[in-house]
Chain A
């Protein structure tokens, strides 16, 4: 064994190690991968949540212009105060008809947004209450609590005490559907009769001004299934 072969071996080994290290270090989970033809990947228009110099702070996500109103939005006249809450409690009524669809939708939404704290039954024993993240969440059935449709809707709209507003996560229709479900839970906790759904015939009759869950209906009607029949 001569010195030169030794040196060569060492050189080879170190070269392999170096290449291996280089390969490993290339897989950086902190950076997105390389792309072929990025012109086809990057949109010409401004992308949702994109970062573009033209916007203040580079943010594509901005607040709507002041005074703009979402399509189908209805003004809500009760102010965010104790007086407004009391007024809504007394006179605001649910414009939705009690139907099985509304109750089912309300139940689903309740599970998503409310049940973590208020519990599936509305008894204030949601998972966050059990894990003591939130304490002292009252039950809907507590004596002395005057829960009406109006107060439930108003509290979803503006929040109350430790509870925040849910107006950004739900639309008007959804809040009223949740309200129906909450009224049902309250009645169940107090042992009162539940809301009775009306027949399916009268569906969608008395809510012409209501926002529909636009995204869903569009998504379904967008499908061009008919094309396939001709194949």
Chain B
């Protein structure tokens, strides 16, 4: 009888191949580190026109004018690019220093301009000198810079390219691996056939009792196994049934992609700014769109961090702001509401069942709990999801662990004193104040 050397070859080789793959998979990602060589070409500041200093004008413009004027878009006041060419310089001096005086003196041009802009009064700037105004006008006369056109294809294209090639390489490797495995099986079977043809006989396995038969005959083993299986099944069934009705991790797609990460995280806007009713009512409230427009009247485009890998580009965010304008009926060019509104059908994420009562103001205002305690790190959520299970056990647990906040709340003073005497503790938990009574939440 001949010894066949490599009978276990397929499995051993596949293990080897796996090791091979794993060793090289780290280098696949290393490509990402390649530095982004493209230096952002700075927007070239055009030379001063001899009448004013552009840089000084920019500082002045941002400090004094930018609250109401933008360079290329109408805001509270008209767009200012090229304004120096439209009007007489002396007239502009007068207008900027005190526009109301000019209007009241009956200057036809001034009155016309005032009427064209909804009769909103421009702040007088008596403190600006003529040189200051010259500087500002030099800034507004500067041609529109176009740095974005140069920057985008290099940075964005390069990154997305490496992402694609990584996927392609991984896919190709997986395919090669698969092919190798298939080939090995084919090779072994052919080898076997050749061996048989050459008269090499395999060691025939002795006919043993099949293992399942042996198992079935051992009654003790069967009993133990079936008990074990039943327990395991019970364990998993319990686990599965306990998560029914729990929406933890629920993250629906909203009609407008509102990023809490940008608003509450990067811009540090207080939760209560938009969810203003959380302070004083049962519901925290989905903010109405006029609250969005408090800021977005002015902010029509996104200029923050982008994440092109996930599709969160500037264009994406700008389109979402446009969705807001469509819904609320805001005409960006005219800076007016058109009156054509389309309600946004937000998808509510946090829902308590009808038989449970929860009041936001009691927790936010009276107890002074941070929103994040229940809602999780909202300031890091690009897409909002339900952080807590919102189950009864979860509520009760917090009521057992949290002490009652007494600061500045005389309502609790007397009851706290008597109960702490009764329980012999310094600080009462909510449970000790009756926070576990059924009627508190179920009515």
- For the complex formed, measure the closest distance between the CB of B64 and the CB atoms of chain A, giving whole angstroms: 6
- For the complex formed, measure the closest distance between the CB of A191 and the CB atoms of chain B, giving whole angstroms: 19
Question: Which of B121, B291, B346 is within 8 Å of A82, CB to CB?
Answer: B121
Question: Which of B251, B269, B362 is within 8 Å of A219, CB to CB?
Answer: B362
Chain A residues 22-66 with CB under 8 Å of chain B are 27, 29-36, 40-44, 47-49, 51, 57-59, 61
In the assembled complex, the Cα of A180 lies from the Cα of B348 at a distance in Å of 37
Contact (Cβ within 8 A) A215 B119: no
In the assembled complex, the Cα of A47 lies from the Cα of B282 at a distance in Å of 12
- For the complex formed, measure the closest distance between the CB of A26 and the CB atoms of chain B, giving whole angstroms: 11
Asked if A21 is at the interface (CB within 8 A of a chain B CB), the reply is: no
Asked if B48 is at the interface (CB within 8 A of a chain A CB), the reply is: no
Contact (Cβ within 8 A) A227 B418: no
Contact (Cβ within 8 A) A168 B297: no
Report B-chain residues with C-beta under 8 Å of the C-beta of A49. Answer: 286, 346, 348
Asked if A193 is at the interface (CB within 8 A of a chain B CB), the reply is: no
Asked if A113 is at the interface (CB within 8 A of a chain B CB), the reply is: yes
Report B-chain residues with C-beta under 8 Å of the C-beta of A164. Answer: 290, 293-295, 297
Report B-chain residues with C-beta under 8 Å of the C-beta of A58. Answer: 345
Please, which residue of chain A has its CB at the minimum distance from the CB of B124? A144
Please, which residue of chain A has its CB at the minimum distance from the CB of B70? A135
- For the complex formed, measure the closest distance between the CB of B4 and the CB atoms of chain A, giving whole angstroms: 13
Contact (Cβ within 8 A) B343 A219: no
Please, which residue of chain A has its CB at the minimum distance from the CB of B266? A131
Asked if B246 is at the interface (CB within 8 A of a chain A CB), the reply is: yes
Given A30-B251, A32-B250, verify A82-B269 contact (CB < 8 Å): no
Asked if B62 is at the interface (CB within 8 A of a chain A CB), the reply is: yes
Q: How many A-B residue pairs have CB under 8 A?
A: 173
Question: Which of B291, B362, B434 is within 8 Å of A168, CB to CB?
Answer: B291
Contact (Cβ within 8 A) A131 B348: no
Given A29-B250, A162-B68, A227-B434, verify A82-B126 contact (CB < 8 Å): no
Chain B residues 348-368 with CB under 8 Å of chain A are 348, 351, 353-355, 359, 361-362, 365-366
- For the complex formed, measure the closest distance between the CB of A52 and the CB atoms of chain B, giving whole angstroms: 13
Contact (Cβ within 8 A) B243 A33: yes
Given A116-B267, A161-B67, verify A29-B385 contact (CB < 8 Å): yes
Question: Which of B63, B299, B343, B354 is within 8 Å of A133, CB to CB?
Answer: B299
Question: Which of A113, A159, A166, A220 is within 8 Å of B411, CB to CB?
Answer: A220
Asked if B201 is at the interface (CB within 8 A of a chain A CB), the reply is: no
In the assembled complex, the Cα of A214 lies from the Cα of B281 at a distance in Å of 8
Chain B residues 144-162 with CB under 8 Å of chain A are none
In the assembled complex, the Cα of A208 lies from the Cα of B319 at a distance in Å of 49
Chain A residues 130-174 with CB under 8 Å of chain B are 131-138, 143-144, 159, 161-166, 168-170
Q: Is the interface of A mostly helix, strand, loop or mixed?
A: loop
Asked if A112 is at the interface (CB within 8 A of a chain B CB), the reply is: yes
Asked if B247 is at the interface (CB within 8 A of a chain A CB), the reply is: yes
Question: Which of B249, B268, B280 is within 8 Å of A215, CB to CB?
Answer: B280
Contact (Cβ within 8 A) A41 B272: no
In the assembled complex, the Cα of A4 lies from the Cα of B286 at a distance in Å of 61
In the assembled complex, the Cα of A226 lies from the Cα of B246 at a distance in Å of 34
In the assembled complex, the Cα of A31 lies from the Cα of B62 at a distance in Å of 46
Asked if B400 is at the interface (CB within 8 A of a chain A CB), the reply is: no
Interface size class of A (residues with CB under 8 A): 35 or more
- For the complex formed, measure the closest distance between the CB of B39 and the CB atoms of chain A, giving whole angstroms: 22
Q: Is the interface of B mostly helix, strand, loop or mixed?
A: loop
In the assembled complex, the Cα of A191 lies from the Cα of B398 at a distance in Å of 47
Contact (Cβ within 8 A) A40 B354: yes
Contact (Cβ within 8 A) A33 B244: yes
Given A135-B67, A224-B439, verify A213-B434 contact (CB < 8 Å): no
Asked if A196 is at the interface (CB within 8 A of a chain B CB), the reply is: no
Contact (Cβ within 8 A) B247 A32: yes
- For the complex formed, measure the closest distance between the CB of B100 and the CB atoms of chain A, giving whole angstroms: 10
In the assembled complex, the Cα of A146 lies from the Cα of B266 at a distance in Å of 33
In the assembled complex, the Cα of A229 lies from the Cα of B432 at a distance in Å of 10
- For the complex formed, measure the closest distance between the CB of B306 and the CB atoms of chain A, giving whole angstroms: 15
Asked if B433 is at the interface (CB within 8 A of a chain A CB), the reply is: yes
Asked if B65 is at the interface (CB within 8 A of a chain A CB), the reply is: yes
Contact (Cβ within 8 A) B276 A169: yes
Contact (Cβ within 8 A) A225 B433: yes
Contact (Cβ within 8 A) B294 A136: no
- For the complex formed, measure the closest distance between the CB of A46 and the CB atoms of chain B, giving whole angstroms: 12
Please, which residue of chain A has its CB at the minimum distance from the CB of B298? A162
Given A33-B245, A33-B247, A128-B267, verify A41-B353 contact (CB < 8 Å): yes
Contact (Cβ within 8 A) A214 B280: yes
Asked if A127 is at the interface (CB within 8 A of a chain B CB), the reply is: yes
Contact (Cβ within 8 A) A136 B64: yes
Please, which residue of chain A has its CB at the minimum distance from the CB of B274? A169
- For the complex formed, measure the closest distance between the CB of B196 and the CB atoms of chain A, giving whole angstroms: 13
Given A162-B298, A164-B290, A169-B273, verify A34-B245 contact (CB < 8 Å): yes
Contact (Cβ within 8 A) A36 B245: yes
Given A40-B354, A164-B294, verify A224-B273 contact (CB < 8 Å): no
Add 12 more A-B contacts to A33-B244, A215-B281 (CB < 8 A).
Answer: A40-B353, A42-B354, A112-B272, A128-B267, A131-B304, A135-B66, A161-B76, A162-B298, A164-B294, A170-B276, A214-B280, A228-B434
**A residues within 8 Å of B by Cβ?**
27, 29-36, 40-44, 47-49, 51, 57-59, 61, 81-82, 111-113, 116, 127-128, 131-138, 143-144, 159, 161-166, 168-170, 213-216, 219-229
Question: What are 15 pairs between A and B in contact, CB < 8 Å?
Answer: A31-B252, A33-B244, A48-B283, A81-B119, A112-B273, A113-B273, A127-B268, A135-B62, A136-B67, A143-B127, A164-B293, A214-B280, A220-B362, A220-B411, A223-B362
Q: Which 6 A-B pairs have the closest CB atoms?
A: A215-B280, A135-B66, A164-B294, A136-B67, A136-B66, A169-B276
